[in-house]
A = this chain, B = another copy of it.
Amino acid sequence: MDPRIREHAEIVVDHSVDLQAGDDVVVVAPPEAEDLVVALHESIGDRGANPLVLSGNDRFQRAHLRNREDFETPAHQMALVEETDVYIAIRADTNVTETSDVDPETNAAYSKAKRPILDERLSKRWCLTQYPAPANAQLAEMSTEAYENFVWDAIVKDWDAVREHQSQMVDIMDRADEVRVRSGERTDVTMSVAGNPTLNDYGEKNLPGGEVFTAPVPDSVEGEVLFDKPLYHQGREVTDVSLEFEDGEVVDHSAEKNEAVLTEVLNTDEGASRLGELGIGMNRDIDRFSYNMLFDEKMGDTVHMAVGRAYEDTVGEDNEQNESAVHVDMIVDMSEDSSITVDGEVVQRDGTFRFEDGFEN
């Protein structure tokens, strides 16, 4: 076994979820991630915790959904999650387009039925990580070995140093009322983050980590955004998503490719057409786009926004939490002709932060 797999498992168990003796653990893993699941079992067993593995195989999901329209929330899965202390989800595809011929409406109905389970899961200690499967390498247009290096370079690293660096941007955002994101001709959006905490993602709930993120005040978002990085949603590529916001709601939307998938997402429920997250990618070890949101949203020189559910921890006590069955991230390139302005002051220009060398005001 590649020694980085065991290092990866140790980081998950000790750094990301802080596993304790007696913890009841669920690992959700597709078949490609087998070696990482083996390494996790070594670490989980050594710490005296109790593992249970759910198989996250897209072929199963496609077969289940192919002729079905009505769904209910499965009581047995809910009971499992309620009694679980730690949830470790691993992504690793055999074919990233496996569910591409499932009807988008069916997918949306299924997501809706499973929402209470997602809610419950997010209230636990959890971590989402990636195993470098060949299909994910193919999507990134990389050889399998180069992709393995890319993934483990991004994951097996000094997360304390990352935390320190990113805390400078957290300090700025935590004091902010209004944030404006501008890029090129077609992105100029303003939103309030007043009263909402900004979180420092240094490899706990997401591994790799490498962003700072908060929730916009739902009704405050005004303006237009062109998400110039493509989006992969349920096996379909959606390109050049454009959203126009008024009073926090999406009042107009378009996409170059697969606009129907976007429309379906926005129509899932009321909260799906409002923003639930504003994130700033700060991880320069992730130095290329790989068509994988877990990595792409952390890239340096990017900003991402998610329609749908806001994470509870990013919403202040007196503020509204955007609720939805979905949480779909989309990315804006900030490397050129762009700026982030906080309360009238530019804090990032063309990808360089004001606390970094080379920043030009």
Which residues of A are in contact with B by a Cβ distance under 8 Å? 22, 24, 26, 29, 31, 34, 37-39, 41-42, 44-46, 48, 50-55, 57, 59-61, 63-68, 70-72, 74-80, 82-85
Identify A39's interface contact among B48, B63, B75, CB under 8 A.
B63
Instruction: Using CB atoms, name the residue of chain B closest to A59.
Output: B38
Asked if A66 meets B42 with Cβ closer than 8 Å, knowing A31-B34, A76-B24, A84-B76, the reply is yes
Could you pull out 21 A-B pairs where Cβ atoms are within 8 angstroms? A24-B76, A24-B77, A31-B34, A34-B57, A42-B63, A42-B66, A44-B64, A45-B64, A50-B71, A50-B72, A52-B76, A52-B77, A52-B80, A53-B55, A54-B54, A76-B80, A76-B84, A78-B83, A79-B79, A79-B80, A80-B80
Q: Which residues of B contact A59 (CB under 8 A)?
A: 34, 38
Query: Is the pair B64, A41 in contact by a Cβ cutoff of 8 Å?
Result: yes
Q: Which residues of B contact A22 (CB under 8 A)?
A: 72
Query: Is the pair A54, B55 in contact by a Cβ cutoff of 8 Å?
Result: yes
> Complex: how many Å from CA A70 to CA B49?
10
Identify A64's interface contact among B51, B61, B64, CB under 8 A.
B51
Query: Is the pair A74, B48 in contact by a Cβ cutoff of 8 Å?
Result: no
Asked if A60 meets B53 with Cβ closer than 8 Å, knowing A31-B34, A80-B76, the reply is yes
Query: Is the pair B38, A75 in contact by a Cβ cutoff of 8 Å?
Result: no
> Complex: how many Å from CA A60 to CA B205?
23
Query: Is the pair A55, B67 in contact by a Cβ cutoff of 8 Å?
Result: no
